Amino acid sequence: MNTLAGKHLVLGLSGGIACYKAAELCRALVKAGASVQVVMTEAAEHFMTAVTMQALSGRTVYTSQWDAREANNMAHINLSREADAIVVAPASADFMAKLLHGRADDLLSLMCLARPLDSVLLIVAPAMNREMWANPATQRNVAQLRADGVHVLDVGQGDQACGETGDGRMLEAEEILDDLQAFFTPKTLLGKHVLVTAGPTYEAIDPVRGITNLSSGKMGFAIARAAHQAGAQVSLVAGPVSLPTPRGVRRIGVRSAHEMMQAVQAQVDSVDVFVACAAVADWRPATSAEHKIKKDGSGQTPELSFVENPDILATVAQSARAQSGALFCVGFAAESHDLLAHATAKRARKQVPLLVGNIGPSTFGQDDNALLLVDAQGATELPRASKQDLADDLIAEIARRL
């Protein structure tokens, strides 16, 4: 579900070195299926050329309220009425102060003031020096803009063009894109708390070796992202993977199945939905050596014995809250063959209302997947698609069942 497809956005650039990120953002928006009309302030033209933004957007850039192309000489009215949202990125400290006081001395500020409040979102991505961002005047302005209904995005932290380090950087293009997609996503899980497990577990044999699997965590992370964009509060218990945490999601890192069980048990009493997407190891070594097990040249292999790991999904699904319907549980089954038979049997054994099956070897580490949804009424196939699209579909299905 690409929520930006078919949307028309005005991308406004105010003055600041972060204008270079606006070029990447423009390209990402167009790639996501949105049409983009760029409007630049005079100050922005000192950092980025209109020619560059025209090439990326495929539309002539507007820079003046006196643009002769508009027959009625009202570009601020015409352009704002066509938009689904006005996105100002970067938004300088000066431009935010201008918005706060309703000043309208250039085309971009005129458009922001003239936009229909009930139908055109105003979203600003601040960008400035860390001291400017921390200044009480700026913080008062941000608070009042939010109170006025303006969506002020967070700022990033890190090295700044001035040579200092701290808060105030404009978010990266992918982060802003993620936030924009969330704005247009139906809030089907608003007020719900969703707990997701993702990735593999790692069961240590000794300090340098262990038992794990090929799960990349991509499916679980996509589900967490989709749930957050649908309005839910999301907690993500993740095994040892290097994926970036989805925006707005609380991540709890674990390694072993035992650690994952502890993390789930600490959260599950306060959640409405539990999605067990992690590929949890079924067994672990009975003991873990304190030091690396060394070869001795004899050709003899060390003897390893195993014990069964706790069944996280079954434990949660058979809890009083799940059995009463207060907690909706979704399980995953990664199989190598006979998917329908194994997924159907696992759903009954784990006592979950919805079991999602897939063929592990064909999806581990990939960006796409194919899913089989199994419930008491039968099975429904979700054909191969990107994991994010499948996650969006799964979250919509969970919301419908709730």
- Chain-centroid distance of CA 2 in Å reads 13
Half-sphere exposure of 326 (CA within 13 A, CB side): 10
* Residue 16, both tokens: 């600041």
Q: Identify residue 119 by its one-letter amino acid code.
A: S
- What whole-number distance in Å separates Cα of residue 170 and Cα of residue 182? 18
pLDDT at 111: 94
Q: 168: phi > 0 → left, psi -120 to 50 → alpha, else beta; which? A: left
**Domains parsed from the chain with CATH numbers:** 8-183 (3.40.50.1950), 193-401 (3.40.50.10300)
- What whole-number distance in Å separates Cα of residue 277 and Cα of residue 18? 38
- What whole-number distance in Å separates Cα of residue 382 and Cα of residue 379? 10
Q: How many CB atoms lie within 10 A of CB 314?
A: 17
Which sequence positions are flagged as catalytic?
162
Query: Which ranges of the chain have pLDDT less than 50?
Result: none
Q: How far apart are the first and last CA of the chain?
A: 20
Report whether 371 contacts 397 (CB < 8 A): no
pLDDT at 162: 86
Q: How many CB atoms lie within 10 A of CB 356?
A: 26
pLDDT at 242: 94
pLDDT at 1: 62
Cα-flanking dihedrals φ and ψ of residue 287, to 5°? -140, 150
Q: 388: phi > 0 → left, psi -120 to 50 → alpha, else beta; which? A: alpha
* Residue 68, both tokens: 């002769």
